[in-house]
A and B are shown apart, each in its own frame.
Chain A
Amino acid sequence: MTAVTLQPARRRRKIKIGRHVRVALGVLACAIFLFPILWMVVTSFKDQRDIFTSPPVLFFTPTIEHYVTYLQRPDIQRRLINTVIVAIGSGVLSIIAGSMAGYALARIRLRGAGAIGALILLSRGVPPIALAVPMFLVARSLGITDQHITLILAYCTFLIPYVMWLMRGFFLALPKELEESAMLDGCSRFGAFFKIIVPISLPGIMSTLIFSMILAWEELLFALVLTNRNASTIPVAIQGIAGDTINGANWAALTAVGTITVLPVAVFALLVQKWLIQGLADGATKG
Chain B
Amino acid sequence: MTTELAIGARAARPRRSGWLADFASRWTFMLPATVILMAVLAYPIFYTIEISFSRFDLATFSAVEWVGWENYRHVLEDYRFWESMKVTLVYLVFALPLQIVLGFGIAFLINAEWRARGLVRALFIIPMVVAPVVAGGVWRMLLDPLWGMMNYVLGLVGIGPLDWFGDPNLAMAAIVIIDTWRWTPFVVLIATAALLALPKDVFEAAEIDGAGWWSTLWHVALPLLVPIIAATFIIRWLGAVKMFDIALAATYGGPGGATNVVNLFIYEEAFRSLRFAESAAMAVVVLVITMVLTAIFLRGSRKLEELY
Contact = CB atoms under 8 A, between A and B. Distances in A.
A74 interface: no
Instruction: Tell which of A130, A254, A285 has the most Cβ of chain B within 10 Å.
Output: A130
Contacts of B294: 122, 125
A144 interface: no
A100 B129 CA distance: 26
A110 B26 contact: yes
A85 interface: no
A101 B131 contact: no
Given A4-B210, A156-B37, A129 B286 contact: yes
Interface stretch (A59-67, A172-180, A185-193, A198-206): A185-193
Given A133-B51, A276-B125, A39 B252 contact: no
A217 B196 CA distance: 31
A132 B267 contact: yes
B242 A153 contact: no
A261 B61 contact: no
B238 A125 contact: yes
B101 interface: no
Contacts of B147: 51-54, 56
Nearest to A286: B231
A126 B44 CA distance: 11
Interface string B164-200: 0000000000000000010011100110111000000
B127 interface: yes
Contacts of B45: 126, 130-131, 134
Contact of B3 (A23, A98, A191): A191
Nearest to A281: B193
A153 B244 contact: no
Contacts of B271: 136, 224-225
Majority DSSP secondary structure for residues of A touching B: helix
Given A23-B109, A39-B149, A101-B33, A133 B283 contact: yes
A280 B22 CA distance: 34
A128 interface: yes
A103 interface: yes
Contacts of A81: none
A25 interface: yes
A245 B294 CA distance: 36
A234 B125 CA distance: 21
B125 A273 contact: yes
A262 B130 contact: yes
A138 B44 contact: yes
B205 interface: no
Contact of B48 (A130, A249, A276, A283): A130
Contacts of A281: 189-190, 193-194
B157 interface: no
Contacts of B28: 100, 190
Nearest to B8: A186
Interface stretch (B64-72, B75-83, B132-140, B300-308): B132-140
A128 B248 CA distance: 15
Given A33-B185, A137-B61, A127 B241 contact: yes
B29 A101 contact: yes
B126 interface: yes
B98 interface: no
Contacts of B33: 97-98, 100-101, 160, 164
A70 interface: no
A287 B120 contact: no
A200 B66 CA distance: 54
A13 interface: no
B192 to A, nearest CB: 8
A202 B270 CA distance: 42
B149 A254 contact: no
B32 A261 contact: no
Contacts of B116: 27
A130 B28 CA distance: 29
Nearest to B21: A188
Given A238-B137, A277-B193, A127 B40 contact: no
14 contacts: A26-B110, A51-B147, A54-B146, A125-B294, A135-B44, A138-B43, A140-B61, A157-B40, A189-B29, A220-B245, A220-B249, A243-B248, A243-B252, A283-B235
Which 10 pairs across A and B sit closest by C-beta, in order of nearness? A242-B137, A218-B131, A281-B193, A101-B33, A26-B110, A104-B29, A134-B47, A130-B283, A26-B109, A97-B32
